[in-house]
A and B are shown apart, each in its own frame.
Chain A
Amino acid sequence: MPANNPHPQTTPLGRTVLAPTGQWATVVHNDPINLMSYVRWVFENYFGMTVAQANDCMLRVHHRGRARVSEGGREQMERDAQAMHTYGLKATIEPLGDAE
């Protein structure tokens, strides 16, 4: 599920959106270490999600084991996954064709 970003192009943690369309998704995977409050903070500050969006997304990761956090071109997804890893979240990129 895409995290729509109606806010300005650069988020507090430096995410800039390169292209609005593409065939890839970034997926965050659940882990027993990261605090829920930390994961929410990363989602809000990197993706520019609202408090509610970040919470929903974090809960999806927690309960389903994984959730798509962004969609777009492959290069953008690589940047997003790289940022997730920098903050200690487990993330992978996958083609959008695969079912969520």
Chain B
Amino acid sequence: MMAFQPVRGGYIARASEEERSMFMSLARDVIYILGGDVHEQIARSEAVGDDPLAVFEAEMAGIDSKLQAEIDDDTHEECTDPLCSHHLPLDDALERLLPDMSEDPEQAAELRTLTEETIAVAKISHLVDFYRGLDNDSEDADLVELPNDDAIAWLAAMNDIRLVLATRLNIDNDDDSERVYLRAGNFTGYDTRKQDEIVEIETTEDMMAVLYTMTTWWQESLLIAMRKKELRG
């Protein structure tokens, strides 16, 4: 993978097909946690075109109908998929993506009713932009092209991916975070003292540690590239 670099009109980076498909898969998962579906989103936005109000209304309608389907669906007790979020009474990742907006529980509930859907729709939109941006079939297969207008969406999308991975990795404080980065170093070879001892990734947790570290690094490189652009004026 290559860090983001500013270019005329946007930014470029490099990521192999495998790396891009991992990020796309993560984006898809986070969209799902938020109550969306990436393919539905893409189909819908292609149907309504670029009118932002039409897109917004379509997204709200989509979430409404999904919620209604859940209310109507009384067969869900038979579902045996352990990853299905219906079985998680409190999905920590969803809670971190959409935390309370007040320390007063009543106020928090009121604010959640007012704002949750709008925030979820915005997050889904960023993640879809990120997903689509990575899904390229240009001749230069490793090239990642990010137009200026999409930079904020990608920054936010990578952040939400980080929030979910960190929650799954139980990162509760700075020490936990440091431990995860060090652990990831064992597999990626970024810890240069261990070049000869690169170990195979065997567990889901190790995989998540590596993905978290990669996303962090890539997000930070985009921030640096955006700063460089700002300074150039």
Contact = CB atoms under 8 A, between A and B. Distances in A.
Given A35-B223, A38-B223, A78-B115, A87 B156 contact: yes
B216 A78 contact: no
Contacts of A54: none
Nearest to B165: A33
Nearest to A45: B152
Chain A CB within 10 A, most for which of B98, B111, B171, B177: B111
Interface stretch (A1-9, A15-23, A90-98): A90-98
Contacts of A92: 100-103, 108
Nearest to B175: A32
B71 to A, nearest CB: 25
Interface string B137-172: 000000000000000100110011011001000011
A88 B173 contact: no
A40 B163 CA distance: 17
Interface string B177-202: 10000000000000000000000000
B213 interface: no
B216 A35 contact: yes
A82 interface: yes
Task: Kindly state the interface size class of chain B when it binds its partner.
Answer: 35 or more
B102 A33 contact: no
Interface in B79-133: 97-103, 107-108, 111, 114-115, 118-119, 122-123
B220 interface: yes
A13 B153 CA distance: 11
A32 B173 contact: yes
Contacts of B118: 82
Contacts of A34: 159
Interface string A13-57: 100000000000000000011110110010000000000000000
Given A32-B174, A32-B176, A33-B177, A88 B102 contact: no
A94 B103 contact: yes
B5 interface: no
Contacts of B155: 38, 41
A32 B166 contact: yes
A81 B101 contact: yes
A90 B100 CA distance: 8
5 contacts: A33-B166, A35-B223, A81-B115, A92-B102, A93-B111
Given A32-B166, A35-B220, A82-B115, 8 more contacts: A13-B152, A78-B114, A78-B115, A81-B101, A87-B159, A88-B156, A88-B163, A93-B107
Interface of B: 97-103, 107-108, 111, 114-115, 118-119, 122-123, 152, 155-156, 159-160, 162-163, 166, 171-174, 176-177, 216, 219-220, 223-224, 226
